[in-house]
Structure 1
Amino acid sequence: MNKEWLLNYLNTQKNRTFDIHRLEKAFMSAVGIDAFSYKKFAGFVRDLEYDGEIVPVKNKQKIHNGKDPHLPVEWRLIKKQIESRWNIGRFMTLASLIDLSFYQSHPGEQTEEAWSRISAVAAFLESQGPKIWVSREERSYQLFHDEKWLDNSEGKEFLRRIKKTLPDLYARVYGEPFVYWLQPRMLTEDVRRILIVENRSLFHSCRRVLEEGGNIYGLSPELLIFGRGKHIVSSLSYLEDLRVPVPYTTIWYAGDYDPSGFAIYDSLKRSYPDYPIQLAISLYEEIAQQAKSPVPIKPGQVQNREQVALFFEEVKPYPLILDKAEQSWSNRVRFPQEAISYETMQKGGLT
């Protein structure tokens, strides 16, 4: 990072005037707080001033930032006419494949690196034969030699500039896999009932009961998923990769009685509005009956009631669940799923 970075940054801003504090903050964010040096930053600013790229606002030159070396607070960028670096032939060559209007109006962005990336996309789009869908990371490595590039801010901005999307590149973000149990001899395409449990121990207890032909407090899921806490919020779309006909299913969710567990349910409902997700009421009622000893929760769990509003709205008709949930929320305690087990299920005659 040097004065060139500062100049490029300023050229991307809409306003010609800028505040030195904001510029310093942007530079610090770019280089990282550990690598940031105010003296070097101040030196780069003075270099740009010496080069005639920026000047302090005349009537405010005496207002300084109070640091050593001090700098005026308000500056003005001297806009210069930048000639196009790419000849018209380049634009004409790819005009039918890629929208290059951004680069036509921003000559400063016409770098060889940008052209190399544009050429890679054009070559892919022009390639003969059927296009095959691959993961975002695979396509990113194929085209840009960096499997993570399309997922970072630079890659996303590049696609925005050329008005392309991941589907245009036949790339998609696949759901992160989750651990699951599928009823023996059943195809995922035939699944209609799904149960998600937040914790590992309950997952295995439920699996044992189902393998023995039993049910889970009246629920008979054909697909059992280990939610792994918040992990399920990012991985539930993996159902589609498994070819589960999601719109035709019922998806029950059961989590801990604690703020995080309530918030996970809200996040699932908000993240997957088209998924038929509902609370596994019978499990929540059983946990409420069995959980006698609350466990203090660690600091940092959800405190904003709005983040758990959907959960509390849906349990209003169930006094036992609502009372236990309010105890958890108000007293900052947890009633864990481990209150029910394979043993309690056996005693309850569920198998």
Structure 2
Amino acid sequence: MEALIRNIIEQHKKKKKKTIETKYIVSELKALGTNLYSDSSLAKPFAAAMQKLVDDGAVKPFGNSSSIPQYGGAMSKYYINVNYFESDDDILPSSVLNDLHPKLNMSYYVKHASEYYELEGIIHRINDILFDNDSEILTANERSYLIFGDEKAIMYPADASIDGADILKKLGRLTLEDIKAKRTFEPFFYLATSGYHNLTEKRNVLIVENQDTFNTFMDAVMEGQLPDVHLLIYGEGNAITRKFEFIQSIHGKLDDNYYYFGDIDPVGISIYHRLKSTFPDYNIIPAVSLYSYMINKVNPADARKLRKPQKVDDTSVSQFIATFDTETGMVIKDIVYSERYLPQEVINKTDMVRLNGIGIH
């Protein structure tokens, strides 16, 4: 069905039309023997074909168009990408396609011969990689440099001299895996114990928001004072949300226990909430015992006023305090909504022995 629809759109474009209505496509399909009016089972394949054309860049939904349930949710009107359907005068000869890997979809370049000849060297480098089963897995930027001569061509095409991502798309939506490449993630600073590498059951990961507190906990972990911490991560404030994917590079598991520990203030709580919301598959929870220890160590009434106003997100606060007992939750809520704060630096080196007995759960 996709080929039929593609041809209908292309013929419509030749009439100097820049948009096309779904009802027109359906009518033309009926004339070709594919009747969506009488066969409702064709609705989903039709919608899938239209979405494929959107994904391929052939069309895109018209600004104020609406979805049509009877046609599987396809939009009522589409813009036609005129450039997509424009062919060169010369069609790529079939001999050029000999010996190409079957994963290379050459349908675009068959109709755009001049583009093919311009990129012939690149396409053949990709072809060689597809055939080479022993090729090393490189980082995306390394592979990008080898193929395109620009390390940013695949992952950051807007900053590159050539749009490698678009070329891979035109060659059949080739993936990083196809070209023997992998994503890399911005690293965070961490300390892993032997237990982190050796344990087969759930491991305990502690994420600490601030630098000084991280260093204090790092010393304690290295001295064996916190044996239930198997991996210690420096959250670096808001940066942890951007960097957390690096956990995949050090073999973090979804079912490990991830305990977050930061300041008791709107920003600290929002960082936790954003991290948990961004990575819902990971078991990320507040380090309840550490927050409770902070509150018990100092008089919450002595919590200092915020140096400058912070926006309080009600959802973040309510979900955060829900993990605590009622009394502790109310104390945290009172601190936050009275524009005060307790920094995690309340806990210092002198507390590590006591925390050994309390744990981070």
1:284-331: CA deviations, max 9, x gaps? 2223343633353556x666545x267436346443244324532x45
The answer (yes or no) to whether the contact 1:203–1:226 under 8 Å persists in 2 is yes
Partners of 1:234 and 1:150 lie apart in 2 by 20
1:251-307: CA deviations, max 9, x gaps? 1111222333222222322332222221100112223343633353556x666545x
Amino acid at match of 1:312: F
Question: Pairwise mapping of residues 26-45 of structure 1 onto structure 2 (< 5 A)?
Answer: none
The answer (yes or no) to whether the contact 2:109–2:116 under 8 Å persists in 1 is no
Change (3 A) 1:161 1:294: farther
Question: Pairwise mapping of residues 124-273 of structure 1 onto structure 2 (< 5 A)?
Answer: 124-127=129-132, 129-153=133-157, 154-162=163-171, 163-183=173-193, 185-186=194-195, 188-190=197-199, 192-215=203-226, 220-244=228-252, 246-273=253-280
Residue number among 99, 107, 121 corresponding to 2:105 in the alignment: 99
Change (3 A) 1:309 1:148: farther
The answer (yes or no) to whether the contact 1:285–1:321 under 8 Å persists in 2 is no
Partners of 1:15 and 1:281 lie apart in 2 by 63
Is the deviation greater in 80-89 or in 338-347?
80-89
Partners of 1:305 and 1:117 lie apart in 2 by 52
**What is aligned with 1:288?**
295
Instruction: State whether structure 2 residue 349 is matched by structure 1 residue 338.
Output: no
Aligned-pair CA distance for 1:144: 1.0
Change (3 A) 1:126 1:205: same
Partners of 2:257 and 2:237 lie apart in 1 by 20
**Stretches of structure 1 lacking an aligned partner (at least 5 in a row):** 1-10, 18-76
Change (3 A) 1:176 1:95: closer
**What is aligned with 1:110?**
115
SS at match of 1:110: helix
TM (norm. structure 2) is 0.62
1:156-204: CA deviations, max 9, x gaps? 3333322111111121112322222233x44624271111111111112
Partners of 1:325 and 1:286 lie apart in 2 by 16
Partners of 1:226 and 1:97 lie apart in 2 by 42
SS at match of 1:117: helix
Partners of 2:318 and 2:97 lie apart in 1 by 54
The answer (yes or no) to whether the contact 1:266–1:310 under 8 Å persists in 2 is no
Aligned-pair CA distance for 1:136: 0.9
Is the deviation greater in 161-170 or in 336-345?
336-345
Partners of 1:228 and 1:211 lie apart in 2 by 20
Amino acid at match of 1:177: P
Give the share of equivalent positions with the same residue, in percent.
Answer: 25
Change (3 A) 1:78 1:151: closer
Aligned-pair CA distance for 1:110: 2.7
Change (3 A) 1:108 1:86: closer
Partners of 2:269 and 2:294 lie apart in 1 by 14
**What is aligned with 1:323?**
331
TM (norm. structure 1) is 0.64
Amino acid at match of 2:209: E
Amino acid at match of 1:152: Y
Amino acid at match of 1:179: F
Partners of 1:294 and 1:349 lie apart in 2 by 28
Change (3 A) 1:15 1:171: farther
Partners of 1:232 and 1:211 lie apart in 2 by 22
**What is aligned with 1:74?**
none
Amino acid at match of 1:338: E
**What is aligned with 1:32?**
none
- Please provide the CA RMSD for this pair: 3.7
**Stretches of structure 2 lacking an aligned partner (at least 5 in a row):** 1-12, 20-80, 158-162
Amino acid at match of 2:335: Q
